[in-house]
Amino acid sequence: MEIKRVNEQIAKVRLHGPGPSDVPASVLDALSARTIGHLDPDFLRVMDQTQEMLRAVFQTKNRMTIPVSGTGSSGMEALVANLVEPGDRVAVVRNGVFGGRIADEIARFGGEVLEISLEWGTTVEPEQVKKALSSKKCQALFLVHAETSTGAHQQHMKEIADIVHEHGAIFLVDCVTSLGGAEVKVDEWGIDAAYSGTQKCLSVPPGLAPITLNERAMEKLRKRETPVQSWYFDLTMIEQYWTEGVSRKYHHTAPVNMIFALHEGLRLILEEGLEAVFERHRKNAAALQAGLESLGLRYVVEKPEHRLPMLHAVFLPEGHEEGKLRKRLRTEFKVEVGGGLGEFAGKAWRVGLMGHSSREEKVQALLRDIQSVLCVRPVGPV
């Protein structure tokens, strides 16, 4: 049996789906750096720097800010396993696929879910949070900041955090898709714990889940009456490996090269500057939106101010088969866009401009390719 090397088998595809996004060459370089020991002094220095840069990107001073070993979902599992005790009640905003997964996860860890169910493509209003939390005592509220299945951008984060705290609960946030592409102000907004992933706007390959927990969340963890139900994600143990100046106690072998890659991805973002990065995402999103709308695609999220800059969920014009066109984009034009998820399967596309994929020249090329497969002339200027 002759099997070719992977490098000889993969096409040069531009990534414009819901993740992974295009990875910069220097991040791939970092990934292929020489593997060293997970307790090597050089690695410990890289760990410290990675934590420092993660805090900058999360806009937090939280000591407990680390990359969890695993994709974005492992960040969700780490938060739920550590911060939800059996019998806890958690209010979950469900306005797309990912809110649904969080609810499922909480139930599996013995929590009781109080669902705040919304129409897909919309976001939650502070009043709705207040109403839910007043109806039943909850220990936490969980929401998705950037719903990748619908393209909805949650607003009023600080107001919601205040309401959650007034009700004696903690505020937990999924910012997998937003981190590194739009503001995520963990401290200023009052988020108690959040998780993200590397392959969306951080433009690092999939494989790590940055998380951050403040003192309020850590206290809830320390006061648990039952042990954390997951050995692998038990932060009371993982903490001892990630704390500077402490014993660096072995828990599991850190994915050394993935952390090198994350280090470089974060370094690039901070070198460009967070504000500049967010502005680039906004500008390219506006150009893509104008182009898509002129080609007759309609946004799932009706209110323009509630649309994400890094993920555009759009319905195709009548008479177009989304799966077929998406396949043509991949085979003929070497570009990947995502299909609809959940309620929107077979009806919509999810077009991503995440991180390194959000570049002016890439947006123009993408619009040209989409125009070609749709065989339509734009109405108005593109």
Q: Which is nearer to ligand PLP, 20 or 291 (CB)?
A: 20
Q: Is 201 exposed, middle or buried (0-12, 13-18, 19+ CB in 10 A)?
A: buried
Binding of residue 181 to ligand PLP (CB under 6 A): no
Q: What is the 3-state secondary structure (H, E, C) of 275-294?
A: HHHHHHHHHHHHHHHHHHHH
Binding of residue 176 to ligand PLP (CB under 6 A): yes
Q: Candidates 38-46, 68-76, 153-161, 253-261 — which segment interacts with ligand PLP by CB under 6 A?
A: 68-76
- Which two three-digit tokens encode residue 344? 């929107």
Cβ–Cβ < 8 Å for 312, 289 = yes
Binding of residue 24 to ligand PLP (CB under 6 A): no
Of the candidates 21, 150, 154, 177, which one interacts with ligand PLP according to CB under 6 A? 177
> Closest by alpha carbon to 175, among 75, 263, 272, 256?
75
- Tell me which residue has its CB nearest to ligand PLP: 72
Binding of residue 340 to ligand PLP (CB under 6 A): no
Torsion of CA 93, 95, 98, 100, to 10 degrees: 70
Shortest distance (Å) from residue 41 CB to ligand PLP: 31
Shortest distance (Å) from residue 1 CB to ligand PLP: 31
Shortest distance (Å) from residue 208 CB to ligand PLP: 9
Q: Candidates 30-38, 121-129, 140-148, 242-250 — which segment interacts with ligand PLP by CB under 6 A?
A: 140-148
Binding of residue 174 to ligand PLP (CB under 6 A): yes
Q: Candidates 109-117, 135-143, 170-178, 284-292 — which segment interacts with ligand PLP by CB under 6 A?
A: 170-178
Query: What Å distances lie between residue 313 and 47, 90, 288, CA to CA?
Result: 36, 28, 12
Binding of residue 197 to ligand PLP (CB under 6 A): yes
Residues in the chain: 382
Binding of residue 71 to ligand PLP (CB under 6 A): yes
Of the candidates 14, 15, 16, 19, which one interacts with ligand PLP according to CB under 6 A? 19
Binding of residue 164 to ligand PLP (CB under 6 A): no
Shortest distance (Å) from residue 87 CB to ligand PLP: 25
Q: Candidates 69-77, 109-117, 299-307, 365-373 — which segment interacts with ligand PLP by CB under 6 A?
A: 69-77
Q: Which is nearer to ligand PLP, 17 or 291 (CB)?
A: 17
Binding of residue 202 to ligand PLP (CB under 6 A): no
109-112, long-range: CB within 8 Å, 24+ apart, which pairs?
Answer: 109/80, 109/81, 109/84, 109/229, 110/84, 110/85, 110/86, 110/229, 111/80, 111/84, 111/85, 111/86, 111/87, 112/87, 112/88
Residue by residue, DSSP assigns 116-157 as EE--TT----HHHHHHHHHHS--SEEEEESEETTTTEE---H
Q: Which is nearer to ligand PLP, 139 or 148 (CB)?
A: 148
Which DSSP category does 358 fall into?
Answer: -
Binding of residue 285 to ligand PLP (CB under 6 A): no
Binding of residue 78 to ligand PLP (CB under 6 A): no
Of the candidates 24, 100, 206, 296, which one interacts with ligand PLP according to CB under 6 A? 206
What residues contact residue 367 under an 8 Å CB cut-off, 6+ apart? 288, 291, 292, 295, 382
Within its chain, how far is the Cα of 94 from the centroid?
16
Residues that bind ligand PLP (CB under 6 A): 19, 71-73, 98, 144, 146, 148, 174, 176-177, 197, 206
